[in-house]
Structure 1
Amino acid sequence: MYDYWVAIIIGIVEGLTEFLPVSSTGHMILTQALLGISEDDNMMKTFNIVIQLGAILAVVIVYWSRILNLFGIRVGVQKHKQKRMNLLHILAGIVPVMLLALIFDNLIETYLFSKYTVIIGLVLGGILLIVAENKKHTKPLIEDIDDLSYKQAFQVGLWQIVSLWPGFSRSGSTIAGGMLGGVSRKASADFTFIMAIPIMFAATGYSLLKSWKLFDASWIGFFTVGFVVSFIVALLAVVTFIKLVGRMKLTYFAYYRFALAAFFLIYLIVTK
Structure 2
Amino acid sequence: MLDIFKAIILGIIEGITEFLPISSTGHLYLADYFIKLNQPKSFINMFMVVIQLGAILSVILIYFNKLNPFAPSKSHQEKEATWQLWLKVIIAVLPSVIIGLPLNDWLDKNMTTWQVIAATLIIYGILFIILENYYKKRTPSLTKLNKLSYRIAFFIGCFQVLSLIPGTSRSGATIMGAMLLGTSRFVSTEFSFFLAIPTMLGASVLKLGKYFMIGNAFVGNQLAVLLVGMIVSFLVAYISIKFLLRYVRSHDFKAFGWYRIILGILVIIIGSIFA
TM-score (norm 2): 0.90
User: Displacement, 1:112?
Assistant: 0.7
The answer to whether the 8 Å contact 1:21/1:253 transfers is: yes
Counterpart of 1:248 in 2: which secondary structure? coil
Counterpart of 1:104 in 2: which secondary structure? helix
The answer to whether the 8 Å contact 1:108/1:164 transfers is: yes
1:215 maps to what in 2? 217
1:250 maps to what in 2? 253
* 225, 231, 236: which one aligns with 1:233: 236
Relative to structure 1, is the Cα distance of residues 224 and 14 closer, same or farther in structure 2, using a 3 angstrom cutoff? same
Q: What is the aligned-residue identity percentage?
A: 33
Counterpart of 2:166 in 1: which secondary structure? coil
Q: Name structure 1 gaps, 5 residues minimum.
A: none
2:53 maps to what in 1? 53
Pair 1:18 & 2:18 matched? yes
User: Displacement, 1:184?
Assistant: 0.5
RMSD (Å), alpha carbons: 2.4
Q: Which one is further off, 243-252 or 198-207?
A: 243-252
Relative to structure 1, is the Cα distance of residues 83 and 26 closer, same or farther in structure 2, using a 3 angstrom cutoff? same
Paired amino acid for 2:162: V
The answer to whether the 8 Å contact 1:15/1:229 transfers is: yes
CA distance in 1 between counterparts of 2:184 and 2:72 reads: 25
Q: Which one is further off, 238-247 or 78-87?
A: 78-87
TM-score (norm 1): 0.91
User: Displacement, 1:246?
Assistant: 1.9
The answer to whether the 8 Å contact 2:47/2:226 transfers is: yes
Please list, as runs of the form range in 1=range in 2, the aligned pairs for 1:253-268 lying within 5 A after superposition: 253-268=256-271
CA distance in 2 between counterparts of 1:266 and 1:89 reads: 41
Runs of 4+ in 1 over 3 A off after TM superposition: 36-40, 71-85, 136-140
Paired amino acid for 1:9: I
CA distance in 1 between counterparts of 2:198 and 2:112 reads: 23
The answer to whether the 8 Å contact 2:129/2:258 transfers is: no
Paired amino acid for 1:20: L
CA distance in 2 between counterparts of 1:74 and 1:113 reads: 45
2:186 maps to what in 1? 186
